[in-house]
Amino acid sequence: MRSKGWIAAALVTIGLGVAGPATAQEKVRFSFTAASMLYAPVYVADTMGYFRQNGLEAENIHFKAGGSAALAAVLGGNVDIYVGAASSAMRAVDKGTDAVVIGSLMTQFAINAVVRGDIARERGLTAASTEAERLKALKGLRIGVSGAGSGTHQIMQYMLARAGLNPERDATIAFLGGGADVLAAFLAKRIDAAAFSNPASDLAVQKHGGFLLIDGPGGQLEELNGFQYVTLITSRRWLARNPDKALRTVKAFQQALTAMHDPAEAPKARDSIHPKYFAQTDKAIFDAAWQALNPAFPRSIAVEKPHMEKVAKFLNDFSEEKFDVDVTKVYTNELAEAARK
Tell me the three-class secondary structure of 236-297, residue by residue: HHHHHHCHHHHHHHHHHHHHHHHHHCCCCHHHHHHHHHHHHHCCCCCHHHHHHHHHHHHHHC
Among 167, 121, 108, smallest CA distance to 143 is for: 167
Mean pLDDT to the nearest integer, 180-193: 93
Cα–Cα dist 322/319, whole Å: 6
Is the preceding omega at residue 199 within 30 degrees of 0, hence cis? Answer: yes
Per-residue confidence at 36, pLDDT binned at 50, 70, 90?
confident
Mean pLDDT taken over the chain: 89
List all residues 6 or more positions away from 321 whose beta carbon is below 8 Å from its beta carbon: 91
326: Cβ contacts below 8 Å, ≥ 6 apart: none
Question: DSSP states of 142-207 as a string?
Answer: EEEESSTTSHHHHHHHHHHHHTT--TTTSSEEEE--SHHHHHHHHHTTS-SEEEE-TTHHHHHHHT
Of all residues in the chain, what percent carry a pLDDT higher than 90? 69
Report pTM. 0.83
Quick check: do 4-107+226-339 and 112-224 share a fold?
A: yes
Q: What is the pLDDT of residues 7-17, one digit of tens each?
A: 555 555 544 34
pLDDT band at 307 (very low <50, low <70, confident <90, very high): very high
Summarised one tens digit per residue, pLDDT across range 309-324 is 999 998 888 777 778 8
Q: Pick the residue with more confidence: 179 or 184?
A: 184
pLDDT in tens, 58-111: 999 988 767 788 899 999 999 999 999 998 999 999 999 999 999 999 999 889
pLDDT higher than 80, residue 39: yes
Residue 119 reports pLDDT greater than 50: yes
Range in 14-28, 39-53, 298-312 the model is least confident about: 14-28
State the pLDDT at residue 23. 55
- What does the CA dihedral 223, 176, 33, 153 come to, rounded to 10 degrees? 20
If you average pLDDT over residues 124-129, what whole number do you get?
Answer: 96
Q: Where are the domains of the chain?
A: 4-107+226-339, 112-224
Fold that domain 112-224 belongs to in CATH: D-Maltodextrin-Binding Protein; domain 2 (3.40.190)
Check residue 16 and give its pLDDT. 37
CATH class entry, domain 4-107+226-339: alpha beta
